[in-house]
Amino acid sequence: MTTSSALDSFLDKWRTRWPEWSVAEPFVPEAQRSLAVAWFALLQEFDDILNTNGDPTPSDAKLAWWGEELRSWAGQRSRHPLGRVLEPVRAPWAELAQALPDLVEARAASVAPAQALHALQAYAGAVAAVEAVMFEAPARGDVTTPVLVQTLAQRLQEAGVAAVPRALLDAGSDTAAQRWAQHLLARWPARVAGPRVRRMYASLARTRLQARAQGSEPKVTPLRTLLRTWWAGRG
């Protein structure tokens, strides 16, 4: 497989999970479009590691590899296809690498919602710090919480009840996932801080979480997506 086709496979995997982005992307500055998709594809790799099922050993090894890879980007020695796009950005890659082990610990079932949020706080902060540099948007307001809540929402989407804190399970497992979605939604304002691409991505993810909190399917149409992401992108 060539470097170009390997890169396309990672980008296409993310686009397949987020088909709405094709409608939103025209609102992203043209110079940032390929960068945004590569970045979100990288975060998806980390989401997949966080939400792994079964034997975690291969995923843990992959995460360790990613830690080494991110640290190498400071010296422009990327090995991964996504690095060809992302490495030139002089972002705090080493700080993100340092936070990656938190994903392993965050797999364990949390006792309470606060514990689940705390487990990924440093990771979310590292992600937000990279985005501030990558998309040339100095941090204003709380840029960490939107990343944190979106990561936990994605975990709920992928892992289901296994992602729900035990305190909510004790109140009844049938609606536990819905209650956890409602809890996360309460911490996720409709308009979030951060770069334009994060605000737009968050608006798409928040729509999915809203549906989960209501026990329904997301109402996704091109027009709804267009209006939603336009509004989010305005800041």
Each residue's pLDDT tens digit, 53-76: 889 999 999 999 999 999 999 888
Q: Average model confidence (pLDDT) for the chain?
A: 92
- State the pLDDT confidence band at 23, using cuts at 50, 70 and 90: very high
Q: Please give the Cα distance from 229 to 126 (Å, whole number).
A: 24
- State the pLDDT confidence band at 3, using cuts at 50, 70 and 90: low
3-state secondary structure of 128: helix
Report the range of poorest mean pLDDT among 32-36, 119-123, 161-165, 166-170.
166-170
Q: Report, as an integer, the average pLDDT of 148-173.
A: 90
Task: Give the CATH number for residue 190.
Answer: 1.10.600
Q: Is 198 left (phi over 0), alpha (psi -120 to 50) or beta?
A: alpha
Q: Please give the Cα distance from 35 to 25 (Å, whole number).
A: 12
Tell me, what's the pLDDT at 235?
64
Tokens 């009844």 belong to 172
- Say how many domains are in the chain: 1
- State the pLDDT confidence band at 2, using cuts at 50, 70 and 90: low
Q: Report, as an integer, the average pLDDT of 130-138.
A: 92
pTM: 0.94
Tell me, what's the pLDDT at 1?
47
Instruction: From 114, 101, 103, 3, select the one nearest 44 (Cα to Cα).
Output: 103
Tell me, what's the pLDDT at 171?
65
Q: Report, as an integer, the average pLDDT of 151-172.
A: 90
Domain range for 63: 3-233
Q: Please give the Cα distance from 17 to 30 (Å, whole number).
A: 22
